[in-house]
Amino acid sequence: MKILITGAAGFIGSHLVEKCVELGYDIKAFTHYNSKNSWGWLDNSPIINDIEVISGDIRDYDSVFNAMKGVDGVLHLAALIGIPYSYVSPLAYIRTNVEGTYNIVQAGRELEVENIVVTSTSETYGTAQFVPISEQHPAVGQSPYSATKISADEIALSYYRSFNTPIKIVRPFNTYGPRQSARAIIPTIISQIANGITNLKLGNLTPTRDLTFVKDTAKGFIEIFKSDNLWGEPTNIGMNDEISIGDLVYKIAELMGVEITINTDQERVRPGKSEVERLFCDNNKILTNTNWKPDYTLETGLLETIDWVKENINIFKPTVYNV
């Protein structure tokens, strides 16, 4: 089966490409065009010679349509994902997340692609109104980012309902692991400690998150892609567990053998009504409808992430806030 993966050069996308190749899929990797001809995390991947890389722009219908020719399925991950920058430039998120998803589903409709998986996010739920959060939880856009992802989900699902386009929605809760940028909380914590900083600068410590290791998230994508039972609806990927950011900080410090103190950096604190206070995944649907089962606990995932950040510490700027 030939699969196009968009956002293939990114954090989750590169892990997903590698897992798909391992499983024997024929992969086209769609990466963001740039003049340096950089393929992001795929540049040094051991599978780089086993895939076809196509550079383009998810906002450009022509490049999306041409990339989708001849494929049996699409795993669509390309997106702008940093929540803080969505406060700075909401329109950029509309163009990438909403129009980009439209390009995928419209091209898929025209080309009669058999299986299209669109990536959502647990941020579409907003602060939990009940826990654990099932796929029936209301959508609440608490940031421009989450609003665009809600819109993208609904565009995709409307194609399933209106044109019978074969759509599935993957809704991962917070994913972490090797290759994640310092805009995310876990590499922010690890990179500061690994650089000898023990007085950490962080944002709000009270929100809770349900954390999945990236290799388990990638496996979840594939299992949902393979399922015959999940058409036209979202499916969560998460651990059915939660930890507060404050407790997470101290857990990482303990694993790294360091005593730390925390300073609140107001630049890192979301606006009050925009902060998602609680995310706690109901993963019953994916467990019931697929063969997915996580391989990593929070501790084993954090230890692998700590090792990776230490090995790649030169790419982090621990004293700079990554928007």
Write down all domains in the chain, each with its CATH number in brackets. Answer: 2-175+212-237 (3.40.50.720), 176-209+242-279+297-315 (3.90.25.10)
Model confidence over 169-227: pLDDT tens digits? Answer: 999 999 999 999 988 999 999 999 999 999 998 888 899 999 999 999 999 999 999 99
Average pLDDT estimate for 266-273: 79
What predicted TM-score, i.e. pTM, was given to this entire model? 0.96
| CA angle 249–251–256, rounded 5-degree value | 95
CA distance 160 to 165: 5
Instruction: Output 204 or 85, whichever has higher pLDDT.
Output: 85
Mean pLDDT of all residues in 225-233 = 97
Torsion of CA 160, 139, 175, 192, to 10 degrees: 150
What does the mean pLDDT of the chain come to? 96
pLDDT of 149 > 90? The answer is: yes
Question: Residue 316 pLDDT more than 80?
Answer: yes
Q: Is the alpha carbon torsion for 225, 230, 234, 235 positive or negative?
A: negative
- What lies within 8 Å, CB to CB, of 26 at 6+ separation is 1, 2, 3
Strand arrangement, sheet containing 52-56: 52-56, 26-32, 2-6, 73-76, 115-119, 167-172, 234-237
109 pLDDT higher than 90: yes
Question: How confident is residue 91, by pLDDT bands cut at 50, 70 and 90?
Answer: very high
Strand 208-209 relative to strand 2-6: parallel, antiparallel, unpaired?
Answer: unpaired
Whole-angstrom distance, CA of residue 203 vs CA of residue 201: 7
Six token digits for residue 302: 């954090």
Tracing tokens 């005593």 back to the chain, one arrives at: 259
Whether 267 shows a pLDDT value over 90: the answer reads no
- Whole-angstrom distance, CA of residue 236 vs CA of residue 212: 11
How far is the C-alpha of 239 from the C-alpha of 233, rounded, in Å? Answer: 20
In this prediction, residue 271 carries a pLDDT of 86
**Per-residue model confidence (pLDDT) at position 323:** 60
Pull the structure tokens for residue 151: 């819109």
